[in-house]
Structure 1
């Protein structure tokens, strides 16, 4: 059985390792989640020490943390991304990912795809041979019934993600809903990705295929760097 969460030290090491990669003048995509947060804090320390970078956040959460860390911010309207640093819910062989546990996968994919170099930070509990966690699908609120029907026809079991501490569904930073779609073991991530992205009403899905350049896997005593 897979573990469901790595230690803070493993996450810290992975995030801090990737945060050493940006150089002066780089535009850095800053991801969302607990491991990416360590990268943002380390980038802030490097900025405080004189590193000249600008960040493009992938969510309200990462924007707030980057500002707190003192990282100057820009947008995709004004700059292209040199390197993106982001976490993942699962990492399979060859760097195929499931993302979207924080409901930020639409903006994450936008930034990560734009980047010349995409680096994933993870702890060992996120590594799997094949992806098998539910795939988050962001959708227009008006498209809930048609998208649910399409997911079921593709063999998935969709569940509307409920908000915590309030009634109703999770609403993304883009004002949309999220379905968590269980497909079991995903034997063909590319094929499933094509099916989801061509479904009317789907804004974005959490399968990241063919985007990752490098994975930094933190542990209690070090970091393993894997090229993809």
Structure 2
């Protein structure tokens, strides 16, 4: 059921895209369905759009689906960004970064007129309580890990790559620390405090950014705004 809910949410988000739009494409399994639907509209309906992907994976998927791409050198503001989330609280704060693309995702979302989040119902929670991904410079990961402890981080773990030994590298050439804080009472405050640590590139808390949240739930769509 979860996969069908993801598909429903992704396709619904793609319907928000209009002719001539500049679109930010996020990263993850739910966004994949939005990208595939946009590709179908490009090929079958002649939809004219240009997109900025947030990861190498999404870039490859967009090219495969014949979606024209652009860059921030060519366009400085996007009409819509479509992305997923790892967890959404009742006041619509997000944790993102499970796909290690959080920095580019936040850049794209911050430079879009509308930020549409697509999830299945399993991602909804009363509060944020999963680990927060923190993108860090490789040179500084150990000291950042120590500094996170001063913010009452219970544990920070260097994310390892799959299929090879050593740390995972983001598309920006950085490391990811997955920092566990337990239940996060004040997400915006924590987001700012983490980013104040020298050596941090960005973290996966997104506060006050979502324009619309599209949820696939029990074979139907629910929209949170």
Could you state the TM-score of these two structures normalised by the residue count of structure 2? Answer: 0.97
Structure 1 segments of 4+ aligned residues over 6 angstroms from their partners: none
The one of 64, 68, 87 equivalent to 2:64 is 68
Q: Aligned with 1:82: secondary structure?
A: strand
Deviation at 1:32? 0.2
Matches of 2:55 and 2:90, distance apart in 1: 27
2:164: which partner in 1?
166
2:105 equivalent to 1:94:
no
Identify the match of residue 55 of structure 2 among 59, 63, 67.
59
Q: Deviations over 1:14-61 (max 9, x none)?
A: 000000001111100001000000000001111111111111000000
How many residue pairs align between the two structures? Answer: 222
In structure 1, the partner of 2:17 is 22
Unaligned runs of 5+ in 1: 1-5
- d(CA) in 2 for partners of 1:91 and 1:45? 29
Normalised to the residue count of structure 1, the TM-score between the two structures is 0.96
Distance in 2 separating the partners of 1:95 and 1:50: 35
Contact kept? 1:9, 1:219, Cα under 8 Å: no
**Structure 2 unaligned residues grouped into runs of 5+:** none
Q: CA RMSD in A?
A: 0.9
Output the CA distance in 2 between the equivalents of 1:114 and 1:90.
22
Match of 1:225 in 2: 223
Match in the other structure for 1:3:
none
**Aligned partners of 1:139 and 1:203 also within 8 Å:** yes
Asked if 2 retains the 8 angstrom alpha-carbon contact of 1:25 and 1:52, the reply is: yes
